[in-house]
Homo-oligomer: A and B are copies of this chain.
């Protein structure tokens, strides 16, 4: 399948591009490379050193014989994007190309506006581009489980049947997102829903849980293919941050009570879920939503898991309960459906001690690259 990966230089996009390429798909990457600039803005860096996009692709070609094309440009530039669509004529598009950090979006007004404009306009341009250039293309768009918030009822996959005053309808699941970033994803979801309903596009919105892990079989092949490993409080995700904090000899930073429960997924499963969505495209005319995660954990669960594995390895660590920089419930109901991708064939890789151990080894090996004064949260929701 001819597949275009928007955001294919990023934490999820890069492993996905390699995985799909290895599976025999014809892959092109579209990326502005802005994520690499944000490291400079924030004074952070990937724990694993990552090669330039060109060096990555050359290494992949040498290693596997597979060619991945690269288009460097910004999706908010419609002329650029339309040009790429006309050149590539993809059958499937995977859209990761968004500002994906909640704390980054909450830095200040300018970053909130940037996040919403960047994400919403990039996605709008893509929807119009698909409609006008490749209307039969199936769009696989990355959303987030964070769109739902923490309602006091079970979370379903995108829609819920509501019975009300003697009538009923199946309607989009109500959204209560918790940051300017999460809001941008909710805006995207509504725009996608419209494009499917009104223009008859075919799209799948992957409401992804928190991703943990770093390497996949493909990125681990050699250093030039390594994936980025974010350890800072802005772009690092919770389990990966705990591992980095342990490697840096710092206590694990649990926000508030740590009872915040979310859906989680390993990066090795992210790439498989994306392929499953591509191989089983949504029907045109109605946005399909999958909840893309494999297990639920509370933040405290994860802190204890990491601390236990570190203990077995003889690495001392401790838990630091910080005042929560976010505004969120710390004890709440959370039970979210996630059966659709399993029905398509996903065999989940669940969190095990071996993975935590591997991550800890990796983090300790490169611990001199951890920017230790960026581990504590500096962005406050209020």
State the A residues within 8 Å of B (CB): 78, 109-110, 112-113, 116-117, 120-121, 124-125, 128, 132, 151-154, 160, 162-165, 167-169, 171-180, 183, 186-187, 190-191, 193-194, 197-199, 327, 333, 381-382
Contacts and interface: CB of A to CB of B under 8 A. Distances in A.
A169 B152 contact: yes
Contacts of A190: 175, 177, 183, 186-187
Given A116-B120, A152-B167, A197-B327, A174 B177 contact: no
A171 B176 contact: yes
Q: Which of A132, A167, A333, A381 has the most CB of B within 10 A?
A: A167
Nearest to A199: B382
Nearest to A328: B198
Nearest to A109: B128
Given A78-B109, A175-B190, A183-B187, 8 more contacts: A120-B187, A152-B167, A160-B164, A172-B175, A177-B194, A178-B194, A178-B198, A183-B190
A326 to B, nearest CB: 9
A111 B244 CA distance: 46
B162 A162 contact: yes
A165 B174 contact: no
Contacts of A191: 116, 183
Contacts of A110: 78
A128 B152 contact: no
A146 to B, nearest CB: 12
A171 B197 contact: no
Contact of A153 (B109, B113, B152, B169): B169
What 7 A-B pairs have minimum CB-CB distances, sorted nearest first? A171-B174, A152-B169, A109-B128, A153-B164, A187-B187, A198-B327, A172-B174
A152 B168 contact: yes
Contact of A113 (B124, B168, B179, B197): B124
A131 to B, nearest CB: 9
Contacts of A151: 169, 171
A157 to B, nearest CB: 13
A281 B148 CA distance: 28
Given A109-B78, A113-B121, A382-B199, A193 B176 contact: yes
A165 B178 CA distance: 24
Contacts of A186: 187, 190
A168 B197 contact: no
Contacts of A178: 194, 198
Nearest to A112: B124
B177 A165 contact: no
Nearest to A188: B187
